[in-house]
Amino acid sequence: MVKNARNTPRRPQRREESLSRDGIIEASIALLDSRGESGLTFRTLSERLATGAGAIYWHVENKSDLLTAACDAIIARTMASCVVGVTPEATIRALALGMFDAIDAHPWVGSALTHAAGQLPMVRIVECLGQQVRALGVPDEEQWAAVSALLHYILGVAGQNAANTQFARTRDLDRSNFLDAMATAWSQLDPNEYPFARSVAGQLRAHDDRVDFLAGIDLILRGIGSPRYR
């Protein structure tokens, strides 16, 4: 006799895949992207993975370890996707733009890198930049200064751009309208006190953040190519 399906007891649904560190990291990235760093807790992560916090602690020590691992995953992917240029300068530009876009897509990465100073995510970036700076023929004693300038520019500008984007989203600001209002305000500044700000006010309305960012990289590369480093 066939039992009524409604009266048949259900068996607990089994996970098709066992919990892994990689799976935890991917779920963490999704939470960080949607809720920010404050939204990543072991409770919310446990709910998303349908498991207990104890199972997660088996793979990661704490939130700091988890944040660093998530950051490293993004950095590793970014560097792997960057097209190596035919010259060191081209490779540096590709890496810089890749980092700019990665931090724009994952705003929490900038903060995570700051907290992970000296750890693998930062080391990956430093090593890639260092190899290219060395390939440019910069003397050994000047290489760290050149790498440091590039590193701080990339992380600083990319981080600020991501912060501006988040600011606009939380306040439902339209970029074009915001820049137009800023340009109008700058154009009305006192010409004696703020001659430069007034002169570039019109450029604010249509400037491209990525283009400006790469222009800054080119300025640094031009400096690295100056006689000081030869």
| pLDDT tens-digit map of 175-220 | 888 888 889 999 999 999 999 999 999 898 888 999 999 999 999 9
**Residue 145 within any structural domain of the chain:** yes
**Residue 164 within any structural domain of the chain:** yes
What the block records as the tokens of 64 is 């700091």
Is the pLDDT higher at 167 or at 5? 167
| Same domain for 105 and 35 | no
| Same domain for 212 and 179 | yes
| Same domain for 43 and 134 | no
- Give the pLDDT confidence score for residue 145 in this predicted structure: 95
**Residue 11 within any structural domain of the chain:** no
- Token pair 């992560």: residue: 45
| Domain carrying residue 32 | 17-60
- Give the pLDDT confidence score for residue 15 in this predicted structure: 43
| Same domain for 77 and 54 | no
Number of Cβ within a 10 Å radius of residue 45: 21
The verdict on pTM exceeding 0.85 is no
Q: Considering its fold, how many domains does the chain have in total?
A: 2
Residue 6 has pLDDT above 50, yes or no: no
| Same domain for 222 and 111 | yes
- Give the pLDDT confidence score for residue 228 in this predicted structure: 61
The total number of residues shown for the chain amounts to 230
| Same domain for 122 and 177 | yes
Residue 7 has pLDDT above 60, yes or no: no
**Residue 23 within any structural domain of the chain:** yes
Quick one: CA torsion of 178, 180, 184, 189, rounded to 10 degrees?
A: 60
What would the pLDDT profile of 118-163 be if each residue is shown by its tens digit?
899 999 999 999 999 999 999 999 999 999 999 999 999 999 988 8
What band does 94 get if pLDDT is binned at 50, 70 and 90?
A: very high
| Same domain for 140 and 75 | yes
